[in-house]
């Protein structure tokens, strides 16, 4: 099984914040990802999003380097593949999806990948979730 994982879910693994329902969903996604023959995919912007959140949290002293390093080891051990073709669709399909669903181009990249790969999406972003639903993408 394959699915697209949005950074909104991944960051819950790091910070364990948000509502009880959000944390439970993020844990569910992590459990699914740990199963046999399961792989998550993310657009090529995803590592930059992860790095940005971590660096900003460290700068605000919300996160210490040791915890960041531990979290990065977790991510490295998980079956998360980074899509190498994200940029190829950025100024076409992704831009059109951003326009159609009033998404940021970053969020539209996750939707574009789900549509292109015909796989479900795991997200806690309400706007992205709604856009995925409207586009006929199944939620994990």
pLDDT value at residue 68: 96
Q: What is the DSSP letter of 93?
A: I
Cα angle: 75, vertex 131, 76; to 5 degrees? 5
**68-82: average pLDDT:** 96
Q: Considering the domain boundaries, does residue 56 fall inside one?
A: yes
Looking at the 3D structure of the chain, how many domains does it have? 1
76-93 per-residue burial string, b: 16 or more CB within 10 A, e: under 16: eebebeebeebeebbeeb
pLDDT value at residue 77: 95
Q: Considering the domain boundaries, does residue 111 fall inside one?
A: yes
Rg (CA), the chain: 15
Work out whether strand 39-42 and strand 2-5 pair parallel, antiparallel, or are unpaired. Answer: parallel
**33-41: average pLDDT:** 96
Q: Output the pTM of the full model.
A: 0.95
Q: Considering the domain boundaries, does residue 115 fall inside one?
A: yes
Q: Which CATH number does the domain housing residue 60 bear? A: 3.40.50.1010
Q: Considering the domain boundaries, does residue 9 fall inside one?
A: yes
pLDDT value at residue 16: 92
Q: Considering the domain boundaries, does residue 140 fall inside one?
A: no
Residues with Cβ within 8 Å of 40's Cβ and at least 6 positions away in sequence, in order, are 2, 3, 4, 5, 33, 78, 79, 80, 81, 122
Residue 33 is part of which domain span?
2-135
Q: Considering the domain boundaries, does residue 51 fall inside one?
A: yes
> Phi and psi (nearest 5°) for 37?
60, 35
> Phi and psi (nearest 5°) for 82?
-100, 125
């Amino acid at each position: 099984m394959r699915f697209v994982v949005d950074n909104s879910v991944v960051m819950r693994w790091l910070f364990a914040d948000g509502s009880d329902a959000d944390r439970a969903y993020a844990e569910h996604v992590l459990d699914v990802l740990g199963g046999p023959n399961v792989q998550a995919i993310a657009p090529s912007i995803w590592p930059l999003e992860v790095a940005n959140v971590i660096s900003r949290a460290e700068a605000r002293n919300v996160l210490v380097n040791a915890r960041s390093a531990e979290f990065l080891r977790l991510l490295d051990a998980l079956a998360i593949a980074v899509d190498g073709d994200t940029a190829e669709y950025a100024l076409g399909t992704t831009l059109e999806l951003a326009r159609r669903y009033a998404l940021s181009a970053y969020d539209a990249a996750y939707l574009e990948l789900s549509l292109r790969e015909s796989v479900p999406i795991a997200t806690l972003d309400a706007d992205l979730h709604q856009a995925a639903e409207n586009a006929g993408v199944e939620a994990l």
